[in-house]
């Protein structure tokens, strides 16, 4: 099911033995557009400490509910690696985090989640070679850094301008993700402040050509006029397959789902 990152904000994260805090943002991979972590503010429980929660631990997020259920205990979360919120999440911290929870890595494999398409695994049956073994070498010089990490904050990218083939037309206001594989499928782009009669529209992440982190822009080969005439996005309604089919047909793009292009959905 497609859901909004904005709707996740403020959701209570419920562990096996009680609540651990509320979601304040998410980190996603800027190469694959996969949501890698939820950032949870623990409030008074852990003195306002922020912790990472991986989709590997998410059991379900019920539509219409503001509760995220995770297969963790409060003690596990309390003992998890400390997150320095003043710095980007480094690969070194990710390795430490994944080792702590015995999660497989998501990088280095052919699929969105490494060797799998979904963030699902059997904690009693993960092969040893599937676990991260890239421990940072403390003897390396300070300037010998770990591999580049492509994690970006949804709070950071929200507000980035959309640069089209012939000029800017709006800014990113939200992200639509699939709660099965945790892939971000669309950027919600708000155009109301850019042209009279503007609206919110969806731009598929597959149609994004690049992100300029220094210039705070997201680029696409689509034109302003095409986007102006595209189907409007209504955030009060869930994104259904009918809307997705109409959207992809409008842009003459192939869908990402199995059987895309073969749908026989009658027009309303």
Share of the chain above pLDDT 90, in %: 72
Per-residue pLDDT, 85? 82
Alpha helix stretches (DSSP H) within 168-230 = 224-228
Residue 150: phi, psi to the nearest 5?
Answer: -110, 35
CB 240: neighbour CB atoms within 10 A? 12
Residue 133 has pLDDT above 70, yes or no: no
pLDDT in tens, 220-265: 999 999 999 999 999 999 999 999 999 999 999 999 998 887 665 5
Helices (H), the chain: 5-8, 74-78, 91-101, 154-157, 224-228, 241-251
Task: Give the model's confidence band at 266: pLDDT under 50 very low, under 70 low, under 90 confident, else very high.
Answer: very low
Percent of the chain with pLDDT over 70: 86
As its CATH architecture, domain 2-152 has Roll (2.30)
CB 24 within 8 A of CB 37: no
47-56, 67-76, 123-132: segment of lowest average pLDDT: 123-132
The answer on pLDDT for 143 being more than 50 is no
- Cβ contact 89:52 at 8 Å: yes
Fold for the domain defined by 158-251: Photosynthetic Reaction Center; Chain H, domain 2 (3.90.50)
Alpha carbon separation from 210 to 59, 187, 216, 250 (Å, rounded)? 33, 13, 11, 22
| Beta bridge partner(s), residue 68 | 13, 61
* Contact assessment for residue 89 and residue 29, using Cβ atoms and an 8 Å cutoff: no
Q: Is the dihedral of CA 86, 42, 71, 99 positive or negative?
A: positive
pTM of the model: 0.88
Average pLDDT over residues 122-127: 53
Euclidean distance between CA atoms 252 and 228, whole angstroms: 15
pLDDT in tens, 203-232: 999 999 999 989 999 999 999 999 999 999
Q: Per-residue pLDDT tens for 144-200?
A: 455 556 899 999 999 999 999 999 999 999 999 999 999 999 999 999 888 888 899
List every span in the chain annotated with CATH 3.90.50.10.
Answer: 158-251
* pLDDT recorded at residue 60: 77
**pLDDT confidence of residue 260:** 83
Mean pLDDT of the chain: 87
- From-to residues of CATH 2.30.30.240 in the chain: 2-152
């Amino acid at each position: 099911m497609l859901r909004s990152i904005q709707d996740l904000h403020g959701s209570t994260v419920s562990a096996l033995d009680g609540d651990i805090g509320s979601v304040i943002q998410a980190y996603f991979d800027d190469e694959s557009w996969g949501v890698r972590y939820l950032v949870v503010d623990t409030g008074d429980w852990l003195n306002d400490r922020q912790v990472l929660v991986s989709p590997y631990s998410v059991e379900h997020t019920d539509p219409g509910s503001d509760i995220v259920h995770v297969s963790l205990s409060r003690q596990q979360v309390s003992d998890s690696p400390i997150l320095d919120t003043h710095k980007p999440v480094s690969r070194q911290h990710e390795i430490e985090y994944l080792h702590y929870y015995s999660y497989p890595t998501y990088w280095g494999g052919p699929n969105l989640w490494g060797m799998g398409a979904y963030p699902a695994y059997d904690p009693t049956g993960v092969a040893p070679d599937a676990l991260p073994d890239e421990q940072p070498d403390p003897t390396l010089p300070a300037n010998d850094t770990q591999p580049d990490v492509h994690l970006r904050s949804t709070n950071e990218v929200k507000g980035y301008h959309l640069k089209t083939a012939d000029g800017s037309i709006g800014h990113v206001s939200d992200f639509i993700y699939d709660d099965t594989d945790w892939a971000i499928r669309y950027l919600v782009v708000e155009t109301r402040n850019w042209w009279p009669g503007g609206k919110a529209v969806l731009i598929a992440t597959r149609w994004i050509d690049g992100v300029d982190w220094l210039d705070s822009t997201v680029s696409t080969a689509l034109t302003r006029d095409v986007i102006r005439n595209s189907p409007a996005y209504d955030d009060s309604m869930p994104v259904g397959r009918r809307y997705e089919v109409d959207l992809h047909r409008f842009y003459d793009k192939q869908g990402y789902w199995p059987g895309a292009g073969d749908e026989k959905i009658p027009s309303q």
